[in-house]
Structure 1
Amino acid sequence: MTPKQTLIVWCLLGRKGQALQAEIRPEVDKKDREALVADGLVSSSKIGRALGLKLEDKGWNWAGEHLGDELPKNYHVLQQWLAMLKQHFESSGVTLAEFIGPAPEWPPAKQPKQPRKKKSPASSRPKRKKVGGHDRLDTPSPEQLRARIKQAYLAITNGRRGVPVPLGQLREQLSDLDRTTVDGALLRIHQTETKAGFGRNDDPKSISPDEAEAAFSSGGDPYHFIWFQS
């Protein structure tokens, strides 16, 4: 074989004996592929719209016997490594196939389509409008704000409900909204939501300055936590 054809075989071995032609470097020319196929070293097959190459038993046997064959001039380092592998195999009795291990399924199984991530409802996303040449968020509606707050809550709890979340963490998730807007939305939730609740830290000495700053008040003592039951 030519040095380039030898290199193609090593590239295939680096992928456990099989790969799409487009994945192999250097690029596989038609004449080199056809020569390898004609010699029975490699087989080719269509995989979808791509062409797949697979090293056959004759190719594995050839590779095991030709670890010291000449490669293109720019691949001297690889040639040195292959020479050391040859010495290792000869002294240990390990074969090239044992060293590389079993190949994965061929042709490769089709990957199942990943379900598309659900987009947030349009009603929960503030719209943008141009003001003075710059994008600016419109003031969200009460429904949008409620959806944003619940979305932020579930993001913090990894989808769990009934878990108290510090208001400081919630505000971090809503950092694009000003405090007045968020407080107004929290007040509406406090007054109208039957499946949402607020809690207080009853130990004043354990309240940090950040926790105190993030607290929300509906007119009485401040609340430090929020949770949704559904």
Structure 2
Amino acid sequence: MTDRLGHKQTAAMFALMVLGREVPNPELKELVGFTLTGKERTQLKDAGYITSEQVGRPFVHQLTDRGWAWCEKELGAKTPPPPRPQSTLCSVLYLVLGGFDGFLRGRKLHLADVFGTPVPPAPTEDLETRIRVAYRELVKEPRGWVGLVDLRPKLGAPAAEVDAVLKELSRAGQIHLVPEDNRKALTAADHEAAIRIGGEDNHFVAFEGS
């Protein structure tokens, strides 16, 4: 098998490159309009460009290291697109890919750096930190009480996640949670914002040492 592949095999290789993971045939069909089967599949597998195994009923494909290397070589190829049938769009695509190859080479990057394992997002403040910051913004005096109805909207986090952090802080003795003494003063929003601990709804929080 030569390094130049047919249109469908080339399209499959680039699709697997962009997805950067195992891709079952039904998903490949949904995304690019065809499946990788028959001689086209076995040729790519025999060439060492892909792994392709039957998982349940469908075949599941993924690029190998050699497959990634083929894609990099094809990106920078000075030769024309694969043999006919070919279209103007195909030719332009190869022109775009060549420019992308130049961009990667200029920055000493590889395709796997772009399409491989996703880069983890930059760390953001954890929820406990956001709770502490919001509390300090709302509290009127050291170790003062802040209503959960006022605290929750500033956090932008699901109630269950906020409850889990508050309960952990309470168990650690870093906060105090208390109910509203005058239950008649509670609004529907107060009831919704309350946190239930030990069978009792709590409506206010105070941090130790804040």
Q: TM-score, normalised by structure 2?
A: 0.46
- RCO higher in structure (CA 8 A, sep ≥6): 2
Q: TM-score, normalised by structure 1?
A: 0.42
